[in-house]
Amino acid sequence: MNGSSAHPVPLDQLPEERWASVVDVVVPINNRDRGLVLRLVELGFVPGERVCVVAVGRPGREPLAVRVGHTTFALRRHEASFIRVILQP
């Protein structure tokens, strides 16, 4: 880890228009969420991949529009919280 700014945060807390890379995926306890997280991984939210929040809904930053690779997906903060990312310098 490199400096104080570089610690992993859940994707739903990533500020807008800042590129970050996925560090790991938290495996949820309940089955329903596990299915969703599996889908997120299938959509490309895998360690090493670059992500960026391109738009957010109001109020409460819900939902989030997240760019991953060449695709943008609309996600809920709940789903996004299982993806941990680290800000890129």
Nearer to another protein, 3 or 48 (CB): 48
Cβ–Cβ under 8 Å, residues 51 and 18: no
Nearer to another protein, 10 or 62 (CB): 62
Cα 66 → chain centroid: 7
Cβ–Cβ under 8 Å, residues 28 and 82: yes
**CB 89, min distance to another protein, A:** 17
Question: How far is Cα 67 from Cα 86, in angstroms, rounded to an integer?
Answer: 15
Question: How far is Cα 81 from Cα 12, in angstroms, rounded to an integer?
Answer: 5
Question: How far is Cα 87 from Cα 37, in angstroms, rounded to an integer?
Answer: 21
Nearer to another protein, 8 or 62 (CB): 62
**CB 86, min distance to another protein, A:** 18
**CB 40, min distance to another protein, A:** 8
Residues near another protein, by CB under 8 A: 25, 27, 32, 34-44, 46-49, 54-60, 62-63, 65, 67, 69-76, 78-79
